[in-house]
Amino acid sequence: MEDCCFSMEMDVRDYECDIQGIVNNGVYQNYLEHVRHEYLKDMGIDFADYARNGINLVVVRAELDYKLPLSSGDKFVVGLKMVRESKARFAFYQDIFRLSDNKPVMKAKIIGTALNERGRPSIPAELDALLASAPG
């Protein structure tokens, strides 16, 4: 995670595990989304305020590479790096590592865009400034 610009530690909760005793595959997307929202909030981008103003930040593609399962009680860290992919798209490169042994759990690339009130891709000024200043 040497390239990440934001990270957050989390814990696996019992109810996130399936019958096999490991985190259900879909739960990982919740982890990733939570960290993206926290990152944006930390950078001054209010996801909910955007939506109230007719601007919707949406995921258009998700690439998830599962490496190692997490189990109940595991502590882990999610790292994030945001980069501009094109004029209308941005990407979040995210990694999850188990803290007990620093083993990689997941690598993800989440591509998003912002849709204006007409449903057309349109990156708002403050998000555009964040992307311009993001290392990458």
d(CA 112, CA 89): 6
CA-CA-CA-CA torsion sign (46, 59, 14, 104): negative
Q: Which residues are paired to 121 by β-bridges?
A: 115
d(CA 95, CA 106): 6
Indicate which residues carry an active-site annotation. Answer: 18
CB 71, CB 23: distance < 8 Å: yes
